[in-house]
Structure 1
Amino acid sequence: MTSALPEWMRPPRIEGWFADDLDHLPEAPRHTELIDGALVFMMSPQRIWHAIVVDELRTALRGQAPADIGIMREITIRLDKLNRPEPDVLAVSKPYDTNATFFVPAQVLLVIEVVSPESAHRDRTVKLRKYAEAGIAHYWIVEEEDEAPVVHTYEIDGPTQAYVATGIHRTELRISRPFPIAIDLDGLVSGSGN
């Protein structure tokens, strides 16, 4: 026995969904992304580790960001007509329209993805390429290693418009771009009741 798909899950055109369509899908799950015209849903329950790391990274960055940079959680970026991913944390230039439902790449300074089992391929390969092609200068991928966060940092290489790895940070992260940041990585999870 097959069940019929809800009408809102059917793409409205042969090319698939467009980035602006996400604003008109109130039935879609809260964390719906658009990748290459296809809707991507967060289907598995979020792990507590993931939620703690996202919250603590956001808090740490907010405490260190200059006044002209906002630190957001789970707001989509309209990369182009067919792509509107939703990173876990992002740093954006102020001012911005508080009524907007997405940012554009020119506003985004840093994107952070905290890897979960179902997002691993997208975070490590698909989004790595798409964020670079959109010109977003800095990308972090946060992995779990023995229950501690490990941050892989990338920066866009101007001549190739591709990301190059700038470091793998365990225990502590200290960088100067996109703004001076110092984070006790071991304390992110251990200091949150774990």
Structure 2
Amino acid sequence: MTASPRGWHMPPEFDHPLTIAEYERLPEDTEHRWELQEGSLVMSPSPRPRHALAAAELRGQLKPQLPAGLYGLPDIDINLELFPVNGPGQVRRPDLVVVDKAAYERADGEGTLLRASEVRLVVEVVSPGSVRMDNLTKRGEYADAGISHYWIIDVNEPVSLVECHLAGEFGYQDNGGVTGVFTTSVPFPVRIDLNALIRPT
């Protein structure tokens, strides 16, 4: 999307479902978070303080552990590539994604969205109003989009992380959720202090 000095007061009106190319041409909205659901613009609620803190702290913990050539990008649009190019677009805006440097440079250079096929890891921090969306709807969409790894973080105490990974025709399988300290070796070695996401030292 192109830059705009002001956010939209109301979403633009369209007489047809938007394609990805049409969505990419919309002016940037600095006041609201939008997603594209089967071609229709849908506004996401603004994050509450705990959600925002957890997302920021997660990125802070993750950044020094990322292997060279990987970027952790917060709050960014992803083209899920679920429909033909000229069909209705499906765009989600996760709290954090990890992509290769080459994917970032491609999207930045072209002025287009990151693609699901370029995403190594997608992370959603659950809000009170997004429990079903993050645990069911987006879980299904990210699996259908072929994103190999999906983390779902619930910031209700005790803070927990459900690690999902693609398992062929079965979609995502998960670890049942962990609390305290989360460690994994895929898609890269990482250790996350979950309690520190809401109580940084």
Q: Give the equivalent residue in structure 2 for 1:177.
A: 186
Q: Is the 8 A contact 2:121 2:187 kept in 1?
A: yes
| One-letter identity of the residue aligned with 2:140 | R
Q: What are the within-5 Å matches in structure 2 for residues 54-133 of structure 1? A: 54-80=55-81, 81=83, 82-95=89-102, 96-97=104-105, 98-99=108-109, 100-133=111-144
Greater shift, 18-27 or 30-39, is seen at 18-27
Output the aligned Cα RMSD.
2.0
CA shift for structure 1 position 20: 2.4
1:11 alignment partner in structure 2:
14
Instruction: Tell me the residue number matched to 1:164.
Output: 173
Q: Quote how far apart the aligned CAs of 1:6 are.
A: 5.3
CA contact (8 A) 1:76 1:101 kept: no
Of 170-179 and 33-42, more deviation after overlay is shown by 33-42
Provide Cα deviations, 1:79-104, integer angstroms capped at 9, x if missing partner: 12420101000111122323434211
Q: Number of paired residues? A: 182
For structure 1, the 5+ residue unaligned runs are: none
Q: What secondary structure does 1:32 align onto? A: strand
Residue type of the alignment partner of 2:189: P
* Aligned: 1:140 with 2:151: yes
Q: Give the TM-score taking structure 2 as reference length.
A: 0.82
Judge conservation of contact 1:53–1:149 (CA < 8 Å) in 2.
no
Kept in 1: contact 2:51–2:125 (CA 8 A): yes
Identity of aligned residues (%): 32
Aligned-partner Cα distance in 1 for 2:26–2:15: 12
Contact 2:123–2:151, Cα closer than 8 Å, also in 1: yes
Secondary structure of 1:123's match?
helix
- Do the aligned partners of residues 57 and 173 (structure 1) sit closer, same or farther apart at CA in structure 2, a change above 3 Å counting? same
The answer for unaligned runs of 5 or more in structure 2 is 1-8, 84-88
Q: TM-score, normalised by structure 1?
A: 0.85
Task: Please say if residues 32 and 40 of structure 1, whose CA atoms lie closer than 8 Å, have aligned partners that are also in contact.
Answer: yes
User: Which aligned runs of 4 or more in structure 1 are off by greater than 3 angstroms?
Assistant: 27-30
Structure with more contact order per residue of length (Cα contacts < 8 Å, sep ≥ 6): 2
CA contact 1:132–1:161 (8 Å) conserved in 2: no
